[in-house]
Amino acid sequence: MTKSATSKVGRRAVLAGLGAAAAMPGLTRYVQAQSSEPIRIGFQVHRTGIGAAYGRWYDRTSKAAVKVINAAGGINGRPIELVTEDDGTDPKRGAEVVEKFATAHRADVVFGTLFSHVVIGSAPRAGELKLPYFVVSEGHHVASGMLNRYTLQPGITDVKSQVQAMAPFVADNLGKKVAMIFPDFAFGHDHRDFFSAAIAKQGGEVVAKIAIPPTESSFTKYFARIPRDTEVLYHVMVGPAVLTFVKEMGEFFGASRPEIFGFLDSLEAVDLATPGLEFLDGTYFWEGNPRYAQADQSAHDKFFREAVGVDANGASVSDAKDVSTYSHMFGCWETLHVIKAGMEAAGYQGPADRAKLIEAIEAMGPMAESRAHPQGAKRFNGKTHQTFGHQFISQVEGGRLVLRHRTSIEDTLYPDEVDYTTRPL
């Protein structure tokens, strides 16, 4: 029956019909794109695996940013639609998710990845697909030239600039002999290499470099390797066991601790009032964005907190025990606003304009402190695809973080290591 029906129609007619059918949906989509079709932003999130606590807050922050942007008219009048996929904080899964965004979801751009090993696993595929890939990771791998023209980090500063801005404070106020504890993957190695170099410039030295596998669950055995003559302990940890890490640090030192300088990564999503953390009183932390609303809180920070649902102590307004990853998650908010600004500058219509979008963002340069940039002003380097901004140093006082020092953007600058704009689009 079927056979005779097709044979009557004839080959040419079938071909012509197929061609028309293929053209039609494309045509209608293009017409819609002019007016109202949403911009689809693929959101690669660490919903499970060792990055889950960050993922939860990256998700809330991104949704809040999309709500704010859409309420104000979206991008060129088109609303943003966030398409979320979990990568399990796994590099292999990360590359698959990027692929899925490009083919199954037909996303315009992809954004949101944090953990550096997942970024490094996913970015090459995004580059091959010529899919703009906005990471919120802190890793130096973007600015180092390791990735590609389609990978950008416009919403959060990188480890190299952060530690470079911290080293003078550590050397001047805490001590010159530093023992470092860091997670044993790219992000931790960035800390190790760049801080060693930065403290040497200040006349200090790193007396021990202690790497800890990110899946480790007990830490006393590592603390035993801290040399006795250490003046400053520099710690940065990530993963589900961070609370255990800091608690065991307190149990190890007891009353006779050295000066301690940590990156707040070691306590992101952890309540500072948790029993066992009392010993941190008086120690210092780098913060990407002050968790506790400070006396001189800006109107933009206030707006950002309210939109995401974070109280003055950096916890969820609905659950005071659900502490945010405040030092990092602003990066999602700011990145989404950069994508909006970039698309509007490029007159972005659809996937054919992806290269124009990259060029528009590369041309951005300075970004003023505003609702779009509540953490502070930024300076985007179009050649290295990396943004630069202020860093914060806070001291623990009565179970709260009190801001002591805010670095300038100049403190965080370093010479370019790559010029992505010379690479083909």
Partner 1 sequence: MEFGPHLILALLEGLVQASVLMLTALGLSLVFGVMRVVNVAHGEFFMLGAVLAHVVAGWFGAHPALGFIAALLLAPPLVALAALAFDRTVLHRLGHDPERTIVATIGLLYVIQQLTLMTFGPEARPVTAPFNHRIAIPWIETTAAGLSFYFPWGLSTTSYKLFVVVAAFAASAGVWLMMARGRVGLVLRATQLDRETAQAFAIPVHQVYGFVFALGAGLAALGAVLVVPIRQAHYLMGGDPLLLSFIVVIIGGLGSLRGTVWAALLIGMSDGIVSVFFSPTLAKILATLLVALVLVYRPGGLFGAKPA
The residues of the shown chain that bind partner 1, judged by CB under 8 A, are: 47-50, 52-53, 55-56, 213, 216-218, 220-221, 223-226, 228, 240-241, 243-244, 251-254, 256, 269, 274-276
Nearest approach, Cβ of residue 105 and partner 1 (Å): 23
Pick from 313, 333, 332: which is nearest to 324 by CA?
Answer: 313
Nearest approach, Cβ of residue 275 and partner 1 (Å): 6
Name which of 56 and 305 has its Cβ closer to partner 1: 56
Nearest approach, Cβ of residue 265 and partner 1 (Å): 15
Nearest approach, Cβ of residue 252 and partner 1 (Å): 5
Name which of 176 and 257 has its Cβ closer to partner 1: 257
Name which of 226 and 236 has its Cβ closer to partner 1: 226
Name which of 170 and 226 has its Cβ closer to partner 1: 226
Name which of 195 and 222 has its Cβ closer to partner 1: 222
Name which of 149 and 247 has its Cβ closer to partner 1: 247
Nearest approach, Cβ of residue 304 and partner 1 (Å): 23
Name which of 155 and 258 has its Cβ closer to partner 1: 258
Residue where the block lists tokens 């035993």: 224
Nearest approach, Cβ of residue 50 and partner 1 (Å): 8
**8 Å CB contact between 292 and 402:** yes
Name which of 169 and 234 has its Cβ closer to partner 1: 234
Nearest approach, Cβ of residue 320 and partner 1 (Å): 14
Name which of 219 and 348 has its Cβ closer to partner 1: 219
Nearest approach, Cβ of residue 255 and partner 1 (Å): 9
Nearest approach, Cβ of residue 325 and partner 1 (Å): 12
User: What SS3 string covers the chain?
Assistant: CHHHHHHHHCHHHHHHHHHHHHHHHHHHHHHHHHHCCCEEEEEEECCCCCCHHHHHHHHHHHHHHHHHHHHCCCECCECEEEEEEECCCCHHHHHHHHHHHHHCCCCCEEECCCCHHHHHHHHHHHHHHCCCEECCCCCCCCCCCCCCCCEEECCCCCHHHHHHHHHHHHHHHCCCEEEEEEECCHHHHHHHHHHHHHHHHCCCEEEEEEEECCCCCCCHHHHCCCCCCCCEEEECCCCCCHHHHHHHHHHHHCCCCCEEEEEHHHHCCCCCCCCCCHHHCCCEEEECCCCCCCCCCCHHHHHHHHHHCECCCCEECCEEEEECCHHHHHHHHHHHHHHHHHHHHHCCCCHHHHHHHHHHHHCCCEECCCCCCCCCCEEEECCCCEEEECCEEEEEECCEEEEEEECCCHHHCCCCCCCHHHCCC
